[in-house]
């Protein structure tokens, strides 16, 4: 089945088989070999971390072999490929996920126990790869897993930041940021490809030259930086296919250095070399709005330019005619961050391949598709023209040309409606002239999508109404999903085993719709019993972690109530905290004899605030101040605890989510594009307390409103409530808890004043108007929890209804309706 020389290939495979066997003895030898020769420790004496490193390297060998096979197979079949461009990927740990997807977890666990090690303990040695902020970045990681599993010929492209998302350290209840130098002890998963490097140009001048009567634009750069590829294998589950996430790092370019040396300025030449590496040094930790920072723009262009060069090189290896390009290449823009790719493709096709503008534009319009994750216009990227013009002079010209042609065309379609023309223009005039990256992406992409039904509707009726009216056929919805491999199989092995037992198959791990089969057993007393046991085990793990992190002992009988996500005003962690104060106040004011009716709660909050986001940081401090008071009040004891989990990241999420009874998703309606945390909790049989926003609207459609706790204003009620503003009376309970905060009940009264002012002032996020409804939903959750059978049934039905929220469904949808790519499966059984 392989290569032009089939016999040779067969011999090679026989040999390879000999190298990498997966029986226990072979695995043990492999691990010891890596201890001795890779980690360079004696095979008779090594610690847990060294054992982890050796283990990781032995897994990596298997991944490398499969990715070679996959790439060779793709090359031979030459299918249309999809390239997923994203500035952020939140991969988390790789070890457990890899051995599970390779189907050799049990073999490794056995081999390690023979060597005197425990798989779980070694897995804990691994640090997270946190090359992203939040939802968008974790979504990219989930989607990579699905693309590999579903055998799509896909590549991920991004940036290899040396510092990932900052580590959150809490001191006296305040957030401090510390650098995440995740590469300190090496990264066993990546492979540096010293032969895969491309020059990336910056600054300089563009000159028009006349070449045999034809005008050509020649860009002479002022700086050249070399991009070096680092490949990270992404194994599919139940398939041999292993695709690649290629991340670029900045390295000094010899080309540039030679000039510097020639001028004799040796010291400056060395300093310049050093500067090149800055490009990929650090991830921007703000997931809110665009700041016109040059380094950020450099990062965007750097990874886009290297990726496009790589994609074109691969295309040319086997093709000579660019007419075929759209039949072989689909480029997915993950938000606007990579949208300079449009100008870059045009530059390469026009200036370097000499295709002529019209042909180049025709090609560009056939290959790009664009996903938007933002909800509000303020979140959209606008690049100051001055900045772009100095860093990328040729690209600015190209964007002006695209805009000129677009506006001319538009005038023909809609006439001289100047307001609309200026709204739709890619160039925004004003005190600082800017480029609207979303408009550029929409104009060039054949498909534009939102990430949930409500979000996609919002794009059509609000954010991009003008564009929707012009090109209704471009707009699609791709409801987000998460991978059940990471979020059930890896993170919740007990639940995984239970589901497989009751369904009588593991097939749901590749075909998640089979989970609906659990519905018929939702009321079965045996399943319920086992289901509760699984939850108990996971709560125990979480309780141990909580005690280790915060010193707080929590009762396993309490409801574990979790809100973990980035801290944002619109996500309303403040509403949660005010609700907790209210609960505390009620308990304190209750007759002692009544207290046995209270459902005990452990409230868990976790998440990072962007370093410059003052209000979010105050919310974290308030959480700690309230926790301090409640947790030290013996009078309340186990009836209420509040813990903040520091440094929430993917691996912490893997521990927290399976142990949650209830999870909260409190965004002000219309503000959360999707929300993917809710899907992970849902899969793990956790009940949701949520507003009707983003993904929860669709979750309700799947599991029914009876199986979760909904509250709050609906999307279309929000504008009116805001208009009513202060005329809307603050409910008494809300006013009372705010008074407690203002009066210094939890200390730091001056510091929290601005938080209280926001709620009692214009209350943009509607905490006041949603407060009563929130308390009612909380009361309903308490009532349900007091009835374990009912609760467990709802929990089973949550997992059973979570199939639609698998990234497998999302990716299949993109592949079929957006990218036009088909599975290309290496011919073997996994």
Binding footprint of ligand NBX on the chain (CB under 6 A) = 133-137, 139, 287, 290, 373, 451, 480, 672-676, 694
Known catalytic residue: 608? no
Instruction: Give me the catalytic one of 60, 93, 373, 608.
Output: 373
Identity of the residue, 139 or 740, whose beta carbon is nearer to ligand NBX in the bound complex = 139
- Cβ closer to ligand NBX: 190 or 287? 287
Q: How far, in Å, CA of 629 to CA of 559, rounded? A: 20
Give the integer Cα–Cα distance in Å for 427 and 443: 12
If the CB atoms of residues 42 and 289 are measured against ligand NBX, the closer one turns out to be 289
Residue 20: burial class (beta carbons within 10 Å; 0-12, 13-18, 19+): middle
In the complex, residue closest to ligand NBX by CB? 135
Alpha-carbon distance of 260 to 255, in angstroms, equals 9
Quote the least distance from Cβ 383 to ligand NBX, whole Å: 12
- Tell me how far CA of residue 485 lies from CA of 248, 393, 490, in angstroms: 27, 45, 6
DSSP symbol at 634: T
Catalytic site residue from 60, 288, 347, 566: 566
Q: What is the radius of gyration, based on Cα positions, of the chain? A: 28
Integer Cα distance of 603 and 116 in angstroms: 38
CB closer to ligand NBX, 477 vs 556? 477
- Residue 140 CB, shortest distance to ligand NBX, in Å, is 9
Give me the sign of the Cα torsion angle 40, 42, 43, 47.
Answer: negative
Q: Is 131 helix (H, G, I), strand (E, B) or coil?
A: strand
> CB 676 → ligand NBX: shortest distance, Å?
5
Report helix, strand or coil for 685: coil
Closest separation between CB of residue 287 and ligand NBX, Å?
Answer: 3
Smaller CB distance to ligand NBX: residue 111 or 380? 380
Q: Within 10 Å of residue 255's Cβ, how many Cβ atoms?
A: 13
Q: Which of 272, 336, 479, 676 is flagged as catalytic?
A: 676
Contact 670, 629 (CB under 8 A): no
**DSSP alpha helices (H): ranges in 646-731?**
650-656, 677-683, 694-703, 718-724
- Which residue among 240, 571, 621, 641 is the active-site one? 571
Shortest spacing between CB 41 and ligand NBX, in angstroms? 39
Q: Give least dist CB 679 to ligand NBX, A.
A: 9
- Residues counted in the chain: 830
Nearer to ligand NBX, 59 or 297 (CB): 297
Are the beta carbons of 707 and 797 closer than 8 angstroms? Answer: yes
**Residue placing its CB nearer to ligand NBX in the complex, 252 or 607:** 607
Q: Which of 410, 435 has the CB closer to ligand NBX?
A: 435
CB 684 within 8 A of CB 655: no
Give me 180's structure tokens: 């995440």
Question: Based on CB atoms, which residue is closest to ligand NBX, 534 or 673?
Answer: 673
- Pick the catalytic residue from 57, 446, 565, 641: 565
Q: Give least dist CB 671 to ligand NBX, A.
A: 8
Is 385:431 a contact under the CB 8 Å cutoff? no
What does residue 510 show for φ and ψ, rounded to 5 degrees?
-105, -20
Check if 571 is active-site.
yes
Phi/psi-derived region of residue 820, left when phi > 0, alpha when psi is between -120 and 50, beta in every other case: left
Q: Which of 347, 346, 302, 87 is nearest to 198 (CA)?
A: 302
Interatomic CA distance for residues 569 and 108, integer angstroms:
45
Structure tokens at 816: 């079929």
136 or 427: CB nearest ligand NBX: 136
- Identify whether the C-beta of residue 503 lies closer than 8 Å to the C-beta of residue 516: no
- Indicate if 676 belongs to the active site: yes
Q: Residue 523 in contact with residue 793, Cβ under 8 Å?
A: yes
Residue 482 and residue 683 in contact, taking contact as beta carbons nearer than 8 Å: yes
Q: Is 566 an active-site residue? A: yes
Q: Which two tokens stand for residue 38?
A: 């890779």
Residue 453 CB, shortest distance to ligand NBX, in Å, is 13
Query: What does DSSP assign to residue 579?
Result: H
Running DSSP on this structure, what letter comes out for residue 646? S
By beta-carbon proximity to ligand NBX, the closer residue of 162 and 335 is: 335
Q: Closer CB to ligand NBX, residue 253 or residue 691?
A: 691
CA distance 798 to 807: 17
Instruction: Give the residues across from 690 on adjacent strands.
Output: 665, 710
Please state the closest distance from residue 167 (CB atom) to ligand NBX, in A: 18
Q: How far apart are CA 296 and CA 336, in angstroms?
A: 13
Angle between helices 732-742 and 767-785 in degrees, nearest 10: 100
- Least distance between ligand NBX and beta carbon 86 (Å): 10
Among candidate residues 485, 535, 680, 825, the one labeled active-site is: 680
The whole-angstrom separation of Cα 34 and Cα 19 is: 14
Q: Is 8 a catalytic residue?
A: no
Find the shortest distance in angstroms from Cβ 657 to ligand NBX. Answer: 15
Kindly give the residue spans of alpha helices, DSSP state H, lying in 332-371: 340-347, 357-367
Which pair of structure tokens corresponds to residue 193? 């490809």
Answer yes or no: 240 catalytic: no
Residues 6+ apart with CB under 8 A from 330: 80, 81, 82, 83, 367, 369, 818, 819, 820, 821
State in angstroms the smallest separation of the CB of 455 from ligand NBX: 8
Beta bridge partner(s), residue 602: 560, 641
For the record, the structure tokens of 337 come out as 């961050």
Contact predicate 349/387, CB 8 Å: no
Q: Which of 344, 756, 345, 721 is nearest to 578 (CA)?
A: 756
CB of 391 to ligand NBX, least distance (A): 18
Please, which residue, 347 or 565, has the CB nearer to ligand NBX?
565
Residues serving a catalytic function are 373, 565-566, 571, 676, 680
């Amino acid at each position: 089945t392989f290569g032009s020389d089939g016999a040779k290939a067969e011999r090679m495979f026989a040999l390879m088989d000999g190298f990498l066997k997966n029986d226990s003895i072979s695995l043990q030898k492999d691990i010891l070999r890596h201890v001795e020769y890779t980690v360079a420790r004696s095979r008779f004496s090594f610690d847990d971390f060294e054992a982890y490193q050796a283990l990781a390297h032995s897994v990596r060998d298997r991944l490398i072999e499969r990715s070679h096979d996959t790439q060779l197979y793709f090359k031979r079949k030459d299918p249309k490929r999809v390239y997923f461009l994203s500035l952020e990927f939140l991969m988390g740990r790789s070890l457990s996920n890899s051995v599970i997807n390779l189907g050799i977890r049990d073999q490794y666990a056995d081999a390690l126990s023979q060597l005197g090690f425990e798989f779980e303990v070694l897995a804990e040695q691994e640090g997270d790869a946190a090359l992203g902020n939040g939802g968008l970045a974790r979504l990219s990681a989930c989607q990579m897993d699905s693309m590999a599993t579903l055998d799509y010929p896909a590549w991920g492209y991004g940036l290899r930041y040396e510092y990932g998302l900052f580590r959150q350290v809490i001191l006296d209840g305040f957030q401090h940021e510390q650098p995440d130098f995740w590469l300190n002890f090496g990264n066993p998963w990546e492979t540096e490809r010293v032969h895969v490097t491309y020059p990336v140009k910056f600054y300089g001048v563009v000159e028009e030259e006349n070449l045999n009567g034809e005008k050509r634009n020649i860009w002479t750069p002022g700086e050249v930086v070399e991009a070096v590829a680092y490949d990270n294998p992404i194994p599919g589950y139940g398939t041999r296919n292993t695709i690649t996430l290629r991340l670029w790092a900045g390295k000094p370019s010899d080309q540039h250095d030679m000039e510097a040396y020639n001028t004799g300025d040796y010291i400056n030449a060395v300093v310049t070399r050093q500067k090149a590496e800055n490009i990929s040094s650090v991830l921007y930790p703000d997931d809110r709005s665009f700041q016109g920072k040059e380094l950020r723009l450099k990062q965007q262009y750097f990874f886009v330019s290297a990726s496009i060069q790589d994609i074109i090189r691969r295309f040319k290896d086997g093709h000579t005619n660019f007419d075929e390009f759209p039949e072989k290449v689909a480029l997915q823009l993950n938000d606007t961050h990579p949208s300079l790719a449009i100008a870059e493709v045009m530059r390469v096709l026009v200036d370097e391949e000499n295709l002529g503008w019209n042909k180049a534009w025709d090609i560009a319009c056939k290959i790009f598709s664009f996903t938007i994750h933002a909800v509000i216009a303020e979140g959209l990227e606008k690049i100051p023209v001055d900045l772009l013009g100095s860093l990328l002079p040729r690209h600015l010209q190209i964007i002006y040309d695209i805009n000129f042609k677009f506006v001319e065309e538009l005038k023909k379609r809609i006439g001289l409606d100047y307001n609309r023309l200026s709204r739709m223009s890619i160039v925004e005039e004003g005190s600082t002239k800017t480029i609207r990256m979303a408009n550029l992406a929409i104009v060039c992409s054949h498909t534009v999508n939102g990430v949930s039904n409500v979000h996609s509707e919002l794009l059509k009726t609000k954010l991009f109404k003008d564009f929707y009216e012009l090109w209704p056929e471009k707009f699609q919805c791709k409801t987000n999903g998460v991978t059940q491999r990471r979020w059930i199989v890896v993170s919740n092995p007990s639940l995984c085993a239970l589901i497989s037992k009751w369904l009588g198959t593991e097939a749901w791990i590749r075909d998640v719709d089979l989970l609906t089969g659990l519905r018929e057993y939702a009321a079965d007393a045996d399943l319920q019993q086992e289901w509760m046991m699984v939850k108990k085990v996971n709560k125990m793990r979480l309780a141990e972690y909580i005690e280790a992190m915060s010193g707080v002992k929590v009762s396993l009988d309490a409801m574990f109530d979790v809100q973990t996500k980035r801290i944002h005003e619109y996500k309303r962690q403040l509403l949660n905290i005010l609700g907790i104060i209210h609960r505390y106040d009620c308990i304190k004011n209750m007759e002692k004899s009544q207290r046995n009716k209270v459902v005990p709660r452990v409230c868990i909050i976790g998440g990072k605030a962007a370093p410059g986001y003052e209000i979010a940081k105050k919310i974290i401090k308030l959480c700690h101040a309230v926790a301090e008071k409640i947790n030290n009040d013996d009078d309340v004891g186990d009836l209420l605890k509040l813990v903040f989990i520091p440094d929430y990241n993917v691996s912490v999420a893997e521990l927290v989510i399976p142990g949650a009874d209830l999870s909260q998703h409190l965004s002000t309606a219309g503000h959360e594009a999707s929300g993917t945390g809710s899907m992970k909790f849902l899969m793990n049989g956790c009940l949701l307390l949520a507003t009707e926003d983003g993904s929860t609207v669709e979750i309700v459609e799947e599991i029914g409103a009876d199986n979760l706790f909904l509250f709050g204003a609906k999307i279309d009620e929000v504008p009116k409530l805001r208009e009513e503003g202060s005329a809307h009376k603050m409910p008494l309970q809300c006013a009372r808890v705010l008074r407690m905060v203002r009066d210094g009940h939890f200390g730091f009264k001056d510091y929290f004043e601005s938080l209280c002012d926001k709620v009692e002032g214009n209350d943009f996020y509607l905490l006041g108007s949603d407060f009563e409804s929130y308390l009612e939903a909380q009361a309903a959750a308490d009532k349900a929890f007091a009835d374990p059978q009912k609760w467990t049934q709802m929990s089973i039905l949550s997992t059973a209804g979570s199939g639609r929220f698998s990234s497998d469904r999302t990716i299949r949808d993109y592949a079929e309706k957006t990218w036009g790519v088909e599975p290309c499966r290496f011919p073997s059984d996994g």
